[in-house]
Chain A
């Protein structure tokens, strides 16, 4: 069964579409990586997938049905980590997770146990009663990750989940995403870190200016692009500028009087 499907979705904020005719699907046990340069439409796709915004045309389906028909039911099975950790600064980490868990309808006693265990595993125990306003970006990101996992969702959407994480936490999350896929969860993973995408994703979608340039397994993309890594394939497909040349130009401007 396909847990998440985007069928020819288009999103227009202005005359130029931010997302233009994107189609893909994610089934159980699949980790779909979504990569693209800044402003390519990744976050807009994610917001449409979570139902936060409505496509101008096309549809997002779950189990074959439009998510709009039963948004609450769809969100029951969804775990979502947004790009920006915009949390309530006056709540403590524990209070935030307790709020999310309660609103998800999780029973109180198991919820408290789960939160405690998760905070321990994500090395946030010491700061669990401290206001989120004082947390670092990495700590907030870990709170968001816990909030997305608390209810054991079947579908996970991660938008730059490694942003701000230290090396250890990033390694944990990398392994976590892989394991989630292996345990039958459907994962949609948006990132700029191509190396991680290459390692954890079963399929990769490369987008530019709102359109899909490639959608296949990483090895297949490399083969078609005739490159030895996903990074090189990405540069080959997406980048219009020579990165080394641009770096030299920047240094020239820096030196200019």
Chain B
């Protein structure tokens, strides 16, 4: 024992080095994730670059009244990162296995993690807001203000959005810590996904209503609107206005609330994560993370018969069950689909709101009202298609490789998964809702139209699909990604604007339906022919995504990589003729 005691860090320098290394490790863990499954995992460089983009773009077309929007953007971007990295915010089982046997007091691990979180929060706050803090003042006020006012505008904007970012990050951390303190480990794991989805929904509602809120809060009667003053972004907006010298007492109150909220969220986050750490870290070794299966384990023969009607081959049955279990049990997949569906619901509710204010008492609903289910379903189907690309424990895909299916079987499987998500809302919500308001005829016609165009959309989405969902490595950043985004936006416009307009027109002239059906049949046949040609050329399933030059770019952005790796990637890119 005596010989080993000499190895203990003897001086402050060594202790500092130890602490710094622990802190660096916590930052790396936060930035790199810790998942071996190959699921979505951005490097630090790529992540910071992606986060900086929205602020920069939004600044280009901004005016002085958009301050509120930038505060919301800062809160949403930072909050979204904290929610995405939820599992990495606190030391987990792997940390326990690797760090607990080392001669480090548990409190050092906690302090290092807290220090790392503060640093990461500050870096995120700076990154998310840096571009907008420079561009927004330049574009919004430089043409008609003195340099002094420009400087004041810049400083107050940066201070407000930075504090808003911090508040958002610490609130997420506080919620995580409180859940760890209050809930038993298993219940905490189970509830996490729902809490995260809820927070994503709140962030999306915040961003989608920010433009309307910008107008509401500019109104002179803000002081009398108590409910509006309860919104956190309004506090930080008030702080910004107060710092710019506006004398309205309501700004003073809001500024005070913003500062108090920020300090309180920081204190709560630190306290909750410290107690959460004490409660869960030591027990990690004793907690067995085998979560009970979601849903009932009782299966009736009738269920099997129904399933067998829908799924013809053993391959389809096996993979379908695997896919559904993945979608309902994998947090990443649930978050992706929840995010897409949430955006759809927000956009659809805007459409509903507009229609309601415009007034629509016709015997046939307006195009905006007809578009509501189309918007939600478009986002849901796109989200599903996107989630198919994200693998779950990619190393386990050998079992699917051995099954040796062909590409057409996989398209059929993916189609059936998408239909499983399409049919229930269509017949359980759309048909009764439209039938109740506008009668059975309208309800059935509209449901039939949505079903038809949705199935055509599914065919479009699966036209080049040669994978078993969730089994192929995550796609690399492709050089054609912007083109794909353009096509998705175009698809959204056609699906949610053009289709309802045609349907509305067809309500007055049934000949339009004939033309519509003929057009859809033509598109469907074209797609079928195209896929046949594709599969004749290459019918092999894909289990490993190949990278292109885009991959090189995104890896180079990853600052955590060493210079050696970067050079090797660039060399290999040059070898490959890029």
Q: Is B567 an interface residue (CB 8 A)?
A: no
Is the Cβ of A76 less than 8 Å from the Cβ of B7? yes
Query: Which of B1, B285, B564 contacts A62, CB < 8 Å?
Result: B1
A154–B7 touching, CB < 8 Å: no
Please give, as numbers and ranges, the residues of chain B lying within 8 Å of A39 by CB-CB distance: none
Contact A87 B98 (CB under 8 A): yes
Query: B7 contacts A105, CB within 8 Å?
Result: yes
Q: Per-position contact with B for A107-144: 1 when CB-CB < 8 Å, else 0?
A: 01000000000000000000001000100000000000
- Interface size on B (CB < 8 Å)? 38
**What separation, in Å, do the CA atoms of A66 and B25 have in the docked complex?**
31
Q: Which residues of B contact A47 (CB under 8 A)?
A: 285
**Is the C-beta of B565 less than 8 angstroms from some C-beta in chain A?**
yes
Verify if B104 is at the interface (C-beta below 8 Å from A): yes
Q: Contact between A154 and B94 (Cβ–Cβ < 8 Å)? A: no
A18 smallest CB distance to B (angstroms): 10
In the complex, which residues of chain B have a beta carbon less than 8 angstroms from the beta carbon of A153?
A: 4
**How long is the Cα–Cα vector from A81 to B18 in the complex, in angstroms?**
22
A residues contacting the other copy or chain, number (CB 8 A): 36
- Of A76, A82, A100, the residue contacting B4 (CB under 8 A) is A76
Q: How far apart are the CA atoms of A78 and B97 in the complex, in Å?
A: 14
When the two chains form the complex, which single residue of B100, B102, B564 contacts A129, counting CB atoms closer than 8 Å? B564
Give which listed residue, B9, B98, B102, contacts A75 with CB less than 8 A: B102
- Mark out the residues of chain B between 1 and 45 whose CB falls within 8 Å of any chain A CB in the assembled complex: 1, 3-5, 7-9, 14, 17-18, 21-22, 25, 28-29, 32-36
Across-interface contacts of A82 in B (CB, < 8 A): 97, 101
Residues in B whose Cβ lies below 8 Å from that of A86: 93-94, 97-98
* Of A80, A90, A103, the contact of B33 (CB 8 Å cutoff): A90
Which of B22, B100, B105, B565 has the most chain A CB within a 10 Å cutoff? B100
Q: Residue A91 contacts which of B28, B35, B101 (CB distance < 8 angstroms)?
A: B28
- Taking CB atoms, residues of chain A closer than 8 Å to B22 are 103
Selected from A13, A73, A87, A90, the residue in CB contact (under 8 A) with B32 is A90
A106 interfacial by beta-carbon distance below 8 Å: yes
Whether the Cβ atoms of B104 and A89 lie closer than 8 Å is no
- Selected from A13, A73, A87, the residue in CB contact (under 8 A) with B5 is A73
18 intermolecular pairs with C-beta atoms under 8 Å apart: A52-B285, A53-B285, A62-B1, A72-B8, A73-B8, A75-B101, A76-B7, A77-B1, A84-B97, A86-B93, A86-B97, A87-B98, A89-B34, A90-B32, A105-B9, A129-B562, A151-B4, A154-B3
Which residues of A line the B interface, CB within 8 A?
Answer: 13, 47, 50-53, 62-63, 72-73, 75-78, 80, 82, 84, 86-91, 99-100, 102-106, 108, 129, 133, 151, 153-154
Chain B interface residues (CB < 8 Å from chain A): 1, 3-5, 7-9, 14, 17-18, 21-22, 25, 28-29, 32-36, 93-94, 96-105, 285-286, 560, 562, 564-565
